[in-house]
Chains A and B, each alone.
Chain A
Amino acid sequence: MTSSHSLDSSFLGGRIPPEIESMSKNLKDVDQEMFRKILKAVVSALEGKDCREVMKSIAESSTIPQERLSHIIAGMYRVLSEAIRIPTASLKQEAFRDDLRELRIPEDFITDFSSVVFGNRRAALDAATSQNDPHLPTLEDFKWRVDVAISTSSLARALQPSVLMQMKLSDGTFHRFEVPVSKFNELRYNVALILKEMNDLEKRNILKIQD
């Protein structure tokens, strides 16, 4: 990726999506207040909230015909969703602003866009959007217990330790199971091994290159 600002290296990629093209044509009819209202609604849509009511009230209170309004909203949504995909380390604010200037978006609106992408709500926005992505469940709650079996129906004096684990996963499944001491050692060893491999992986040069 070069740092020159030809259309090829816009954060939007080689081709400008059609909704963004049509948005920039229509934005000149929008005043700052209206723009900010729409921006707020688009951000909460990105966060996954239901904003049909808000959109309805915006549509009713504005003089802009609905079709043009929908182009504007679609374009704004696309600009933001493409921008927040890219990690902040890779997309610098100046580059972002330049790209938007190329699209002939008014300067004030560029500032508003920037404040969403680079402001302090960004981390929350990222967390909200990544929730919809497919992933295997993570460990939400982990409880354990160490027991010693003193005697059983077969042995008056057993004195055998064992571990009982209870795991609640992020998809709601619940597992409660016993871990014999030998298996526990195996589990612990394997987890340590994965950690070591992760550390080795993170140290490797390929991960240090910023792109």
Chain B
Amino acid sequence: MTSLIKETESIKEAVTFINAIDVNKFSRLISRIIQKLHLKGERTFSEEEEEKLQAALSLDKQALSLVLETAAFMLEQAVYHNVKPASLQQQLEAIHLNPDKAEVFSQTWATAGPELVEKLKHSTFAPKKLEYVGWQLNLQMAQSSQAKLKSPSAVLQLGLRNEDSEVMLIPSCSQTSWTLRNVKQLGFEFADSCERKSAEKQRLTEVQENAFINFNHQELLDFYNKLEIVQGQLDSLT
């Protein structure tokens, strides 16, 4: 079985610090970290909380940050390989973590682990995700070109959420057309042939995009039949 954690220099250093921490405080620390582990971009502790921790655990800023990162890393590895708690405990003791601390890890993992794995299984990324399904059934009585209709028509509202909630608008060379680009961490990329030096950037927070689709009876029936085929495929997987 591949070892989860290689004993590098920084791991050794972190282990020394961790071993010095009081076991009860450590237990609460690990619980908190594992709760926030599925939120990749967010900090586990706010600035204030980190300062308090530094005092409580008598660690300086660098040492604290090393401890937090290492603990998180150990848990991430456990999640990635979906190890059993006993195996985790063994592996941690192998890199010279004290048995009491190793036990804290494996106990927290045993309680909170399965839930975390489930959460991560469901957090896939895709540019747009269906978040909301709403609908309205109308009876259309007439329109400009036709009187006396009485035809049922349904409007389906699909709420689509963009994964990147921040979207940049960058102009291309022609004055009236704009290209949408997603910017995450890297800088801005301008259209190659664009002559304009400064781009006007508008930061938009696009939370949910709605798609409204109209269906008459036959169209809805066709759509439903297609959904049934998809369901059949999903069923065949289990």
Q: Which residues of A contact B (CB under 8 A)?
A: 84-87, 90, 126, 129-130, 132-139, 142, 144, 146, 148-149, 152, 154-165, 167, 169, 173, 175-181, 183-184, 186-188, 190-192, 194-195, 197-198, 201-202, 207, 211
Contacts and interface: CB of A to CB of B under 8 A. Distances in A.
Given A158-B121, A167-B211, A194-B220, A207 B150 contact: yes
B139 A187 contact: no
Contacts of A136: 155, 212-214
26 contacts: A84-B145, A85-B146, A135-B143, A138-B214, A139-B219, A154-B120, A155-B80, A155-B117, A160-B124, A163-B230, A165-B130, A175-B160, A177-B126, A178-B126, A178-B129, A178-B130, A179-B129, A180-B129, A181-B234, A183-B131, A183-B133, A190-B133, A190-B156, A195-B217, A198-B152, A202-B152
Interface stretch (B17-25, B170-178, B221-229): B221-229
B137 interface: yes
Nearest to B131: A183
Contacts of B131: 183
A154 B77 CA distance: 8
Contact of B139 (A137, A146, A201): A201
A194 B148 contact: no
Contact of A198 (B81, B122, B148, B154): B154
A135 B237 contact: no
B135 interface: yes
Range class of the B interface residue count? 35 or more
Interface of A is mostly: mixed
B223 A126 contact: no
B214 A155 contact: no
B193 interface: no
A167 B144 contact: no
Contacts, number: 166
A123 to B, nearest CB: 12
Nearest to B163: A178
Closest 10 CB pairs of A and B: A178-B126, A177-B128, A129-B145, A136-B214, A133-B143, A179-B130, A160-B121, A146-B233, A154-B120, A130-B145
Contacts of A187: 130, 133, 158, 227
Interface in B182-220: 211-215, 217, 219-220
B220 A155 contact: no
B148 A154 contact: no
A156 B139 CA distance: 51
Nearest to A202: B152
Given A154-B40, A178-B124, A190-B156, 4 more contacts: A85-B145, A152-B124, A175-B211, A176-B128
Contacts of B214: 135-138
Nearest to A189: B133
A173 B128 CA distance: 15
Nearest to A177: B128
Interface centre among A90, A146, A191 (most CB of B within 10 A): A191
Interface string B80-92: 1110000000000
B135 A190 contact: yes
Given A86-B148, A154-B80, A164-B126, A139 B223 contact: yes
Contact of A144 (B124, B160, B230, B237): B230
A161 B234 CA distance: 8
A198 B135 CA distance: 13
A130 B147 CA distance: 11
B41 interface: no
B143 A130 contact: yes
A138 B139 CA distance: 16
B76 interface: yes
